[in-house]
Amino acid sequence: MNNRLKILTKGIIDVSPLMIPVVPFGIIYGVIGIELGLSAYMTFGMSIIIFGGASQIVLLQLFSGGATSLVAITSVGAVNSRHLLYGAVFSEYLSHLKLTWKIILSYVLIDQAFAVSNTYFKKNKENEFKHYHLLGAGFTCWTIWQISTVLGIVLGSVIPEELGLSFTISLTFLALLINDFRKFKNIIVMLVSGIVATIGYNIIPFQAYIIVAALAALMTATLLTLINSKKK
Amino acid sequence: MHWSTIIYCGIITYLTRFSMIFILKEDILNDKAKKILSYVPSAIFPAIIFPPIFLDNVGSLDLESNPKILAAILAILVGYISRSIIITIFVGLISYWFLIFVYY
């Protein structure tokens, strides 16, 4: 087998187990999009144009709460700011590539693809075709995300509203944090964010409570990080 | 919702992924900056999780006979033990359904 194809396949295989939770997440997104009254085209269009599950669901929630577009766009930017970290970590592995490659790979640089390709890149620094791993992993995520969005859109038109599926938004995000439940500092940051958002929900105008809560929590995180580094 | 909002969101999301790869030749973020960025999910997701659980339809705090709080606590406990995203979502949803359809 050709070397590039081999690395591409490795990327697909490596990311596959991480796709298991992505399927219900995509379905939930599709169902909620339809239940909130978005057209099927718009719900699917968001998955193609934004391609970021958490931020798409935030956008839906803010839309249903009547947020302005500026607040919606800023909140999406805040949720996705973690990708800056991924880009920074990958810059040294991808800096030798042509611009076209950087443009294509950036589109699929999401949490799951970052996680598996980062492990692969660390072990295969010298391999000139290593970026094919990210290509395989990223477009596997992309394909699965689009298929499960469509499944959700189809199901959304048949699932009754009484099931209270909007509660799954909270549950899904809660599930995405399970690995941080064991870290004391993360729990403090989470509580600051949640409490500020709950209090601010009625007080802060334009549905900007997510942004305000996130800033308060990130300041807490910064303080905790600085205090910790001083001790050392 | 307008298509323009979705497109702007798409552009800003793309830029969060592309900018660092495009600008940097090597990883220059220091450990502190990385540590802080790693807190982003913990800093943002609870702001999305808390209000729909604790607030009712008109936005006032609802702490009594609130099935969402109980279901969320169960989901957290199960998530903590199992570390499985799917199991956490399902336990939360099924206990919520049990509470609203059977218990209340």
What are the chain A neighbours of B45 within 8 Å (beta carbons)?
54, 173-174, 176-177, 190, 193
Chain segment B11-49, per-residue pLDDT in tens = 999 999 999 999 988 777 788 888 888 898 899 889 989
Q: Which of A177, A192, A230 would you mutate first to test chain B, the one with the most B CBs within 10 A?
A: A177
Question: Are the Cβ atoms of A171 and B28 closer than 8 angstroms?
Answer: no
How would you label A164-194 residue by residue, b for 16+ Cβ within 10 Å and e otherwise? bbbbbbbbbbbbbbbebbeeebbebbbebbb
Distance CA A136, CA A144 (A): 12
The residues near A28 (Cβ < 8 Å, ≥ 6 apart) are: A57, A152, A165, A168, A169, A172, B89
Chain segment A187-210, per-residue pLDDT in tens = 999 999 999 999 999 898 877 888
pTM of the model: 0.84
Q: How high does pLDDT run on average in chain A?
A: 91
Beta bridge partners of B55: B61
Nearest to B20 by CA among B10, B11, B29, B12: B29
* A137, two tokens: 């992993």
Of the partner residues B9, B25, B100, the one whose CB lies closest to the CB of residue A76: B9
The residues near A110 (Cβ < 8 Å, ≥ 6 apart) are: A51, A52, A83, A138, A141
Residues of chain A falling short of pLDDT 50? none
Q: Is A89 on the interface with B (CB under 8 A)?
A: yes
What are the chain B neighbours of A184 within 8 Å (beta carbons)?
none
Q: Is A170 on the interface with B (CB under 8 A)?
A: yes
Mean pLDDT calculated for residue range B55-71: 89
What are the chain A neighbours of B93 within 8 Å (beta carbons)?
167-168, 171
Please report, as a single letter, which amino acid is at residue B54: F
